Amino acid sequence: MTPPPGGTPAGERDEPAPRDPGAQPERTWFAWRRTTLTFAVSVALAARVAVEQRTGTAVAAAGVGVLAWLALLLTAHRRIGVLAGTRPSPMGAVQVMGTLVCVLVLVVVGGLLL
């Protein structure tokens, strides 16, 4: 049976083609690692300022920054694990909002320490 022009024969289902991720998972892994490393350096600088200033606000800000970094690190670790699958699911709304909150916390920490 000859398939109709531009389509499949009647009765056959379109199955998704096998995933060929190429270098995409590796690029995404590197992006998450760069992000968490940059975040860690920023938190380390915040901790340095907190040690130099020795005020309650600076210490609390650095502590909150560390917690935000740990949350981002956990999110990145989970996301990298999901991307290792053959058909990775898109990032959920909770993960996206959590990542956004972590980044905004770092912005606030930086503002408090200036």
Average pLDDT over every residue of 44-70: 92
pLDDT score, position 10: 55
Residue with tokens 């490393």: 37
Would the pLDDT of 73 be above 80?
A: yes
Would the pLDDT of 94 be above 80?
A: yes
pLDDT score, position 67: 95
Mean of per-residue pLDDT scores for the chain: 84
